């Protein structure tokens, strides 16, 4: 097998049980280098649990997680972050009283020093198009702008892979549109896994989609095929239909 065929991230037989509840069962998942994958599924399907097993917020009950060919099953969140996985959960991870630039500099300084950190901040500001707000305090920004700052903070560490939990939650449709552009920019050199409810966003991202249902992978197809698949419509709506 060549290096390019080795997935950047994979799992074998991931399961998670909460007491008597099997939230996840037998998840075999593989993400190629540079891939952008959306995880979707109806409420309670197991997406968030799987996301948390990947980020190590949860320790899976069964199975293994591999990152760049290395078994990372026993590592903690901060340890996989150090290996080059950027994580954005739904819990804000910014300092409200600091400016955009100061937040970015703090994020970059955790991994690199002086000049290198400044360069990483400049790059992130340009790539996430934050030039106009770089001296604004975080508490003065809109919800969408704060999310973009968090994306910029993640890319200052130049991760190989980014895991995002519902990045467009609470955004206006205009903000969702801009986020699509920013995600595509990030995906030029970084693989991404995105848990997402907003089907317009998933359609716009237009890559392969993994559908969860009742703790298992139900389907794995292109976004277009998923939207047309009546069986996927059925699990969302409880009847034969397509995803809206």
Task: Output the smallest distance, CB 63 to ligand ATP, in A.
Answer: 15
**Exposed/middle/buried for residue 170 (C-beta within 10 Å: 0-12, 13-18, 19+):** exposed
Integer Cα distance of 130 and 170 in angstroms? 20
Where are the alpha helices (H) located in 44-99, listed in sequence order? 47-55, 77-83
Task: Output the smallest distance, CB 216 to ligand ATP, in A.
Answer: 11
Task: Output the smallest distance, CB 168 to ligand ATP, in A.
Answer: 14
Task: Output the smallest distance, CB 53 to ligand ATP, in A.
Answer: 10
Which residues, at least 6 apart from 31, have a Cβ–Cβ distance to it below 8 Å?
A: 7, 8, 9, 10, 37, 161, 191, 193
Integer Cα distance of 143 and 175 in angstroms? 9
Q: Is 15 in the site for ligand ATP (CB under 6 A)?
A: no
Q: Which range, of 46-54, 101-109, 114-122, 173-181, touches ligand ATP by CB under 6 A?
A: 46-54
Nearest residue (CB) to ligand ATP, 47 versus 105: 47
Q: Is 168 in the site for ligand ATP (CB under 6 A)?
A: no
Q: Is 60 in the site for ligand ATP (CB under 6 A)?
A: no
Of 9, 38, 41, 54, the residue at the interface with ligand ATP (CB under 6 A) is: 41
Other CB atoms within 10 Å distance of the CB of residue 131:
10
- Give the Å distances, CA to CA, from 117 to 90, 106, 129, 147: 26, 9, 18, 21
**What is the DSSP secondary structure assignment for residue 78, as one 8-state letter?**
H
Nearest residue (CB) to ligand ATP, 133 versus 195: 195
Of 8, 9, 14, 23, the residue at the interface with ligand ATP (CB under 6 A) is: 23
Of 25, 27, 37, 47, the residue at the interface with ligand ATP (CB under 6 A) is: 47
Task: Output the smallest distance, CB 44 to ligand ATP, in A.
Answer: 4
What residues make contact with ligand ATP under the rule CB under 6 A? Answer: 18, 21, 23, 41, 43-49, 212
């Amino acid at each position: 097998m060549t290096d390019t065929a080795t997935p950047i991230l994979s799992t074998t037989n991931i399961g998670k049980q909460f007491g008597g509840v099997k939230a996840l069962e037998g998840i075999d998942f593989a993400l190629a280098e540079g891939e952008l994958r959306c995880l979707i599924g109806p409420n309670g399907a197991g997406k968030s649990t799987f996301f948390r097993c990947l980020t190590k917020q949860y320790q899976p009950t069964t199975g293994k997680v591999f990152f760049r060919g290395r078994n990372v099953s026993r590592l903690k969140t901060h340890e996989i972050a150090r290996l080059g996985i950027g994580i954005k959960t739904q819990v804000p991870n910014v300092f409200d009283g600091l400016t955009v630039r100061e937040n970015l500099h703090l994020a970059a300084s955790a991994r690199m020093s002086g000049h290198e950190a400044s360069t990483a901040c400049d790059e992130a500001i340009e790539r996430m198009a934050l030039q106009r707000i770089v001296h604004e305090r975080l508490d003065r920004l809109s919800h969408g702008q704060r999310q973009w700052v968090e994306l910029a903070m993640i890319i200052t560490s130049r991760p190989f892979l980014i895991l995002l939990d519902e990045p467009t939650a609470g955004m206006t449709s205009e903000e969702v549109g801009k986020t699509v552009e920013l995600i595509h920019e990030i995906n030029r050199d970084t693989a991404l896994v995105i848990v997402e409810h907003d089907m317009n966003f998933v359609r716009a991202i237009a890559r392969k989609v993994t559908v969860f249902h009742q703790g298992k992978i139900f389907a794995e197809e292109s976004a277009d095929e998923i939207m047309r698949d009546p069986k996927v419509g059925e699990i969302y709506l409880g009847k034969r239909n397509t995803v809206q």
